[in-house]
Amino acid sequence: MEEILAKKPEKRYSYFIRTVVEFEEVWGLADQDEGWLMLEDDEDTNASDVLAVFPSRDFAEHFSKAGGFDDEFKPEPIDLYEFIDWMNDFEEDGVTVGVFPTPSFECAVMHPHKMAEDLNQEIEKQDGDQKE
C-alpha cells in the first residue's frame, strides 16, 4: 500500500483506472448526513467541489483514518457504470474528481469528461484482452 501511495498522482491515476475497471467498482467515503466526502481544489480558481475516489476499500479506509474522517465518513462502493453515468451530472455541476488522494491530499484532479473517457477506453481494452 505504501509503495503505491508513494507514486506520483499520474501513476496512481493509471493504477486507479485499471483497478476500478477490473473490479467494476469505485470507492468513495460517505456520511449519512453529509453525503459523499468532497475536497476543495486549491488550484482551481472556481474552487469547485472535488469528489474523493479510491480504487479499493483498503485505500479509502487508509485515507479516512489518516485524515481523521473515520468517525464520520465510511468507505462505500459505487458501481463503475453508475459512476460513469455520474460524470455527465458532474460536468454540468462543475464537480471534478480527486482520484486516489494520499493522506497528504495529493491527487490527480480530473474533469468528468476525461474521467469517463479514460474509464471507457480501459473497459474496451480489458474487454478486448479477455476475448483473446
Residues in the chain: 132
Percent over 90 (pLDDT), the chain: 62
Q: Which pLDDT does position 105 carry in this prediction?
A: 87
2-50: pLDDT as tens digits:
899 899 989 999 999 999 999 999 999 999 887 998 887 766 555 578 9
Q: How far is residue 72's CA from residue 68's CA, in Å, rounded to a whole number?
A: 9
Q: Contact at 8 Å (CB) between 79 and 20?
A: no
C-alpha cell read off for 117: 473517457
pLDDT for the residue numbered 44: 55
Ordered structural domains, the chain, with CATH = 2-124 (3.40.1350.90)
Strand 49-54 with 96-99, pairing: parallel
